[in-house]
Amino acid sequence: MSTHPTVLVIGGTAGTGKSTIGESLVNLLRLKYPNAQFLEGDRLHSKQNIEKMSNGIPLCDEDRWDWLERISTESTLSASANDGLCIITCSALKLKYRNYIIDKNPNTIFFFLMVYASPKEILMRLTRREGHFMKANMLNSQFADLELPINNQVEPHSRVVTVDGRLEHHVLLETFDVSFELLRSRSLKAQILEIFELYKDERNPCFNDKDFKNSLMLDLIINELSWVNVATIKSELHNLVMNDFLEEIQEGLEYKLR
Ligand SMILES: Nc1ncnc2c1ncn2[C@@H]1O[C@H](COP(=O)(O)OP(=O)(O)O)[C@@H](O)[C@H]1O
Ligand SMILES: O=C(O)[C@H](O)[C@@H](O)[C@H](O)[C@H](O)COP(=O)(O)O
């Protein structure tokens, strides 16, 4: 099994349907990952956070860091122990929160499936929802904090699914498709990481052989090109080190794409 566990974070403001979607989605994804677990991120909040939210006081950045770290680590542990995949809910409203989750466990591959519903829809749902600490009075602060990942260059590992006015099973089918697309792109990222790890091991005789590195990497990338978008590959390479290497890879890519 890969040394890089995969975590699918279902994000979005309170009331978008993260928990509802997560519970169903994990059952569908178990067709491929039979032991994958669904974790409810709300369970990882501290008592103080729950108390704050129950009193209608929005969390601030300082309240959230420890929680986000637990989200990152607990989901990583679960994925490592269960077929390499975990699905977890976490509002992950801001870009810096999503990056924090990623940074806390750099060996894990995190994807973010952000669910969006309009304030009008959320107001209706939170007013109706019973037995939850997050009430409709938190709606304004949630939308004030929300930064949807709209830029594919900055967040190639994230997608947005809009749920307004759609039937529950249509939303589920779309999130299922999007998840599979994300998990498919996982193999590329994991392979790139694994190959870089091989290079990083200086005892490996191939470490200093640039031609070997390039041909291996090119093969890897070209083989995946039919479905992965080039911007994603470039941005992964950027994230993953070796700028000199990156240039050569880009040249190779451009050549192959002609
Ligand atoms: N697609 C949907 N259409 C209508 N209502 C939904 C849908 N998904 C969830 N709900 C309802 O909206 C409320 C919030 O859903 P929940 O899954 O708890 O959201 P979150 O985990 O994002 O806070 C619940 O009462 C749930 O039954
Ligand atoms: O189900 C919900 O209503 C939300 O998932 C909610 O419980 C979430 O945990 C909070 O939104 C706390 O975090 P933020 O203030 O960072 O959204």
Query: What ipTM does this complex have?
Result: 0.93
Q: How far is the CA of 17 from the centre of ligand 1 (A)?
A: 4
Q: Token pair of 183, please?
A: 């998990």
Q: What is the pLDDT along the chain (258 residues), one digit of tens a residue?
A: 456 899 999 999 999 999 999 999 998 888 888 899 999 999 999 999 999 999 999 999 999 999 999 999 999 999 999 989 999 999 999 999 999 999 999 889 999 999 999 999 999 999 998 888 888 888 999 999 999 998 777 888 899 999 998 888 889 889 988 998 888 776 666 656 665 565 555 555 554 555 655 555 555 555 544 444 555 555 655 555 445 555 655 565 555 445
Q: Say if ligand 2 is within 6 A of residue 12 CB.
A: no
Q: In what order do the strands lie in the sheet with 85-89?
A: 37-39, 85-89, 6-11, 109-116, 158-162
What are the CB-based long-range contacts (under 8 Å, 24+) for 214-217? Answer: 214/245, 214/248, 214/249, 214/252, 217/192, 217/245, 217/249
Write out residues with Cβ below 6 Å of ligand 1. Answer: 12, 14-20, 89, 125, 128-129, 163, 168, 171
- Contact between residue 178 and residue 113 where contact means Cβ atoms under 8 Å apart: yes
Residue nearest to atom 17 of ligand 2 (CA): 91
Q: What CA–CA distance (Å, rounded) separates 37 from 87?
A: 6
Residue nearest to atom 1 of ligand 2 (CA): 14
